A and B are shown apart, each in its own frame.
Chain A
Amino acid sequence: MAHVHDHDHPHNKPLSDVELRVKALESVLTEKDLIDAEAIDLIVETFETRIGPRNGAKVVARAWTDPDYKKRLLENATDAIAELGFSGVQGEDMIVVENTDAVHNIVVCTLCSCYPWPTLGLPPVWYKAAPYRSKVVKDPRGVLDEFGVSLPEDTEIRVWDSNAELRYLVLPRRPDGTDGMSEGELAAIVTRDSMIGTGLAGAS
């Protein structure tokens, strides 16, 4: 039987039921030679260090500074994002929606947790949890309130429920007073939430 004891595990509390189930499953699948621990380590490392909202921020900053790129991004997001080297799992078919003075977009997956991994990484817990998924399609302004975002009454709100295999990224509005900033400086003010639509760029 495969050795399943984790020596890093501090012995001040017993493993939870979920931890036991995960270890049991991993042990059985390893024994059947169906999974490879090193592959799992690399998957985890990739999503912890290489794939995250900094990728999406680069896409946004490029779109803010290069009108031709922005046009390509809005017409064929998958290819335009791949130009910057971001592609793959849960970003195979991308759509980018643009925030303007008149329109604000917000993305959700009411049925599960669909999210554009190559540009935003893995979703935060709140994005996958019931309160956000239930509320944002009916009361998006109430949700924005919870995130401390207030928009004028005449701003059109568009909520995108990503229920199929298209994945959505919001192109946030470029903040005023950023004219002199470089692409790199601009990328630094693009937050994850501004690309989901629950935040605004430049606001921390």
Chain B
Amino acid sequence: MPTLTKDVVPGLIATGASCRIDEDVAPKFKPGDAVVTRNINPVTHTRLPRYVRGKRGVVERDHGVFAFPDTSAHGGGEKPQHVYSVKFSFQELWGEDHAGNMYLYIDMFDDYMRPAS
């Protein structure tokens, strides 16, 4: 029998499947921390887009612990870790000729960042 039958559909759609993990993992960063994103170029799956690699940003918010897509996509397990909203200026991302009042917010996993020194 198929897993998803008609009677299961409403509950499934209304509940979904959160990738949030209820596990006590220590955060490596906290709001206000200055960070640099890692310059990684795996040939496998990653949710770290090229345009934010090696850029300086500031942690704005800790979203909690989630499964790590880079391992989860390849049978490597969930590798639970914190995800943060991180703020980057357009001048940092695209150059100093960009307006100073434009910002990019993106969600970064612990493994995508290191502290800015």
The reply to whether A and B meet directly (CB within 8 Å) is yes
| Contact A138-B94, Cβ < 8 Å, known A162-B107, A165-B19 | yes
B105 to A161, Cβ gap below 8 A? yes
Given A33, A111, A157, which contacts B101 in the complex, CB threshold below 8 Å? Answer: A157
Q: How far is the CA of A159 from the CA of B17 in the complex (A)?
A: 26
| Contact A88-B5, Cβ < 8 Å, known A154-B101, A157-B103, A160-B105 | no
A111 to B18, Cβ gap below 8 A? no
Give 1 or 0 for each of B49-83: 1 = CB within 8 Å of chain A CB: 10100000000000100110100000000000001
A89 to B47, Cβ gap below 8 A? no
Give 1 or 0 for each of A112-144: 1 = CB within 8 Å of chain B CB: 000000000000000000000000011010000
Q: Which of A1-9, A11-19, A39-47 contacts B (4 or more CB under 8 A)?
A: A39-47
Chain A residues with CB below 8 A from B103, complex form: 156-159
Give 1 or 0 for each of A79-100: 1 = CB within 8 Å of chain B CB: 0000000011111110100000
Chain A residues with CB below 8 A from B29, complex form: none
Q: How far is the CA of A138 from the CA of B6 in the complex (A)?
A: 44
Let me know if B43 is at the binding interface, CB within 8 A.
Answer: no
Q: How far is the CA of A156 from the CA of B51 in the complex (A)?
A: 21
Q: How far is the CA of A203 from the CA of B16 in the complex (A)?
A: 33
Chain A residues with CB below 8 A from B105, complex form: 158-161
A39 to B17, Cβ gap below 8 A? no
B83 to A164, Cβ gap below 8 A? yes
Tell me the count of chain B residues lying within 8 A, CB to CB, of chain A: 40
Q: Would you call the interface of chain A mostly helix, strand, loop, or mixed? A: loop
Given B10, B18, B94, which contacts A165 in the complex, CB threshold below 8 Å? Answer: B18
> For residue B94, which residue of chain A has the nearest CB?
A138
User: Smallest Cβ distance from B63 to chain A, in angstroms?
Assistant: 6
| Contact A111-B102, Cβ < 8 Å, known A89-B17, A93-B63 | no
Q: How far is the CA of A51 from the CA of B109 in the complex (A)?
A: 30
Chain B residues with CB below 8 A from A166, complex form: 63, 83, 85, 107
Give 1 or 0 for each of A151-179: 1 = CB within 8 Å of chain B CB: 00111111111111110000000000000
Given B6, B9, B16, which contacts A87 in the complex, CB threshold below 8 Å? Answer: B16
Let me know if B36 is at the binding interface, CB within 8 A.
Answer: no
Q: How far is the CA of A162 from the CA of B83 in the complex (A)?
A: 12
Q: How far is the CA of A203 from the CA of B94 in the complex (A)?
A: 31
B5, B14, B20: residue with the most chain A Cβ atoms closer than 10 Å: B14
Chain A residues with CB below 8 A from B19, complex form: 92-93, 165
Q: How far is the CA of A132 from the CA of B2 in the complex (A)?
A: 37
Given B13, B47, B49, B101, which contacts A43 in the complex, CB threshold below 8 Å? Answer: B13
B18 to A92, Cβ gap below 8 A? yes
Residues of A near any B CB (own CB < 8 A): 33-36, 38-39, 41-43, 46, 51, 87-93, 95, 110-111, 137-138, 140, 153-166
| 3 tightest A-B CB contacts, nearest first | A164-B107, A92-B18, A89-B16
